[in-house]
Structure 1
Amino acid sequence: MRVFTRLALLSAILLPLPLPVLAQDTAPTVGALDAAKVPVVMARAVDEFIRPGYRRFTDRAGAMQTAMTTLCGSPSAESLKEAQSTFGHVVEAWSRVEIVRVGPVIEGNRFERILFFPDRKGTGLKQVQAALAKPDPSVTSVETLKGKSVAMQGLGALEFVLFGTGSGSLATAEGAYRCQYGTAISANLKRLGAELTAAWDAPDGVQAAWKTPGPANPLYRDEAEAAKELLGVLVHAAETIRDQRIEQFYKGDPKKALPRQAIYWRSGNTFRSITANIEGLRDLLDTSGMVDLLAEDNRSVVSSTDFVARSLSRVSADIKPDVAQVFEDPAQIAKLDFLLLNSRDLILRLNNDLGGGIGLAAGFSFSDGD
């Protein structure tokens, strides 16, 4: 009976969606890239998504540092609650822009310094726990913390400080050292965000490379390479949502689910982050105007792709924050099944349909590094 119940609930969720949401086996129509429009699309991606995204993250990290400073100066249940709430805002801001895994963020291990995930062997967690178990002045200053293991200086470490074992001490004077560590992490996140903002704001830096593909460009020798980079960001984002965010803890069998392997499970931000990932993907696809790279008769590819992404976002936002509780409710499990099914379709639409539509060969795979 339980199997039939789950299938019925999954069907109930799927009913409002038209058949195209399901994975398509037909080969996409291969188009020809309109090279003249690529620089405009790349400029929109930079100026309307990437730069504002990093500025938003930097601002939220600054607010996090302020909240931690307040908590350390006046420890209480109220100030702890405010700091924990602010952490959720930082996670959301980062999750929207983390889909951009190219450029300055992959230099100097910035991405891992901001978010070290997944921590498959628990190495990072052990390092954070060790730092909290025995006071170490070097983790309470951003200048020394930034030289530590990447797992000790980002969002995962801050989540454990605020929500992990012993976090209740932050509401009292006994949590002073733990609070100082959290403040240093927040300051480090703000520092990293500022570096990324500065790198993308520099007119002769990476933004110039994105906006002016050509023979003299060190990154993109022509418009096709630039378009491929932008499409690759979208495809890899969709793959990460499925492979590292959902399948990290659930692959379709509730009995084998690993809720404590989910990102941000301690703070209840798992699905808030996944939803922000999806919304970031939608925002980049829309604001960049990639639809302009498609022939008039093939532009429905973008609207249908956005429909799938919007449906995923809607369902993800409606899942309980406590990952463990999700597996106690058949209706919630059905929503996870929906995410698994349709996240695969999103990847195919971006990789095959959109990729083919702007001139890449059908079956092109960014995962293979082609």
Structure 2
Amino acid sequence: MRRALCAVLLCLWATGASAGMPDNLGQRITDGFVRPSVTQFANTAAVLSGDIDRLCREPSEPRLDTVRQRFDTLVEAWFRIFFLRFGPMVVDNRFEKIFFWPDPRGVVLRQVGAILAGPDADAIDPAKLAAKSVAVQGLPALEFLLFGTGSPSLLDKTDEGRFRCAYALSASVVLSERAAAIVADWGPDSAFVREIAHPGPNNDIYRNDQEVAAEVVKALAGGTAFLAEVVIVPFLGKEPEQANYRKAPLWRSGSTIRAVRGGLAGLRDFYAATGIGEALSAPDRWIDGGLRLEMRKILDTLDKLDMPLDEAVRPGPGREALIYTVIALKSLHTTMDTRLAQAVGVSVGFNALDGD
């Protein structure tokens, strides 16, 4: 873990508390955002698992609709926390096991398809599924099972339909258990929370306030970069003729835009929980106002983007809204990576798309 921080080159050039550094930053983010948000994700995952279990026991259109709607809610809950790629989220490759993305080679489709074609009975055992490839057990895999080619079989009682539903149930159980483990690792008595809430020279990870601040800024900057460069840009393309909505994450369920909005709303709320805005010195207050305004404008834009993704990528207001979103997210990233970092007393030199 210590080496991971060094690997992303978190260069700290302040030795004492900065004027823009709020007191108890680690405790603030833990209590004010992280713990309630990861708990929401875990609770939603558990409810989805129950919904899928009922679908498998007695298939029906209303039950399938409930499962699909719950999946959409789970996606939003996940994207509220996706940028917390440190501590509990990166233990045992949890991030990749929950959300294997980007996937330019279609590994999820290929490996999930192979399991269905087998069929591979190990996939319907949560313990065995959890030990398989990261590509076959997370949200993208579950999305294909619930929305992809062959998903209507979830409503019939053929062997194919029963196996697909059992696999979906197994994947949902794995997701639920993994989410619960993340909640436990953010618990008030966990070793990680003791570290981030009480940085000190004898800690293994966070030895001073600046290291906590660097982690926070890294999460903010990395989150905006991920939404722009990893989620939107690949499917939007530089020109309309290069657009391909099927390159978007979660396009089968129609959850892509909701995911982006959920991600930015999470970043907004995480930033608010830090208390950095209130702690900034007078000359730096513009940073806080600028960040809040930019995030609000992006969210307003996404709220108005009410059309199918395949239509949104074509020339017109939908594409213009997506282009604006990318530009604004990149602007947010630059401000966070430079101005905000300087204001809280850290110099952050890293690839914002790295996860650890």
Q: Matches of residues 299-314 of structure 1 in structure 2 within 5 Å?
A: 299-314=285-300
- Paired residues of 1:259 and 1:324 also in contact (CA < 8 A): yes
Q: Choose the corresponding residue for 1:278, options 255, 264, 287.
A: 264
Q: Identify which range, 36-45 or 188-197, moves more after superposition.
A: 36-45
TM-score w.r.t. structure 2 length? 0.90
C-alpha distance in 2, partners of 1:206/1:299?
A: 31
Q: Which residue number in structure 2 is paired with residue 79 of structure 1?
A: 63
Deviations 1:167-191 (A, max 9, x none): 0111221211111100001100000
Residue 46 of structure 1 aligns with which residue? 30
5+ residue gaps, structure 1, are 1-29
Deviations 1:64-120 (Å, cap 9, x if unpaired)?
101101111110111111111110011010110111011121111111111101111
| Contact map agreement 2:21 2:344 (CA 8 A) in 1 | no
Deviation at 1:216, TM superposition (A): 1.1
Residue pair 1:103, 1:206 contacting (<8 A) in 2 also: yes
Specify the alignment match of 1:339 in structure 2.
325
Contact 2:39 2:183 (C-alpha < 8 Å) held by counterparts: yes
**8 A contact 1:319–1:335 mirrored in 2:** yes
Deviations 1:213-259 (A, max 9, x none): 12112112211111111111101111111111111212431110121
Instruction: Work out the CA distance in 2 between the residues paired with 1:328 and 1:125.
Output: 25
Provide the C-alpha distance between the structure 2 equivalents of 1:61 and 1:290, rounded to a whole number of angstroms: 31
TM superposition shift of 1:352: 1.7
Deviation of 1:297 after TM superposition, in Å, equals 3.6
C-alpha contact (below 8 Å) 2:243/2:314 kept by paired residues: no
**How do residues 1-370 of structure 1 correspond to structure 2 at under 5 angstroms?**
33-34=17-18, 38-174=22-158, 175-320=161-306, 322-328=308-314, 330-361=316-347, 364-367=348-351
Q: Quote the Cα distance in structure 2 between the aligned partners of 1:222 and 1:173.
A: 59
Cα distance between partner residues in 2 of 1:162 and 1:39: 45
Q: Which residue identity is paired with 1:139? A: A
**Sequence identity, in percent?**
31
Amino acid at match of 1:359: G
CA contact (8 A) 2:45 2:74 kept: yes
Aligned residues: 337
The alpha-carbon deviation at position 38 of structure 1 amounts to: 4.6
CA distance in 2, matches of 1:90, 1:204: 25
What whole-Å deviation, never above 9, does each CA across 1:194-231 have from its counterpart, x for those lacking one? 11111110524111111111211211221111111111
Compare 55-64 and 291-300 and name the one that shifted more. Answer: 291-300
Task: Return the offset for 1:135.
Answer: 2.2
Contact 1:39/1:212 (<8 A) preserved: no
Matched residue of 1:201: which SS? coil
Distance in 1 separating the partners of 2:271 and 2:250: 26
Aligned residue type for 2:81: V
Contact 1:55–1:197, Cα closer than 8 Å, also in 2: yes
Distance 2:263 2:338 in 1: 21
Q: Which runs of 5+ in 2 are unaligned?
A: 1-13
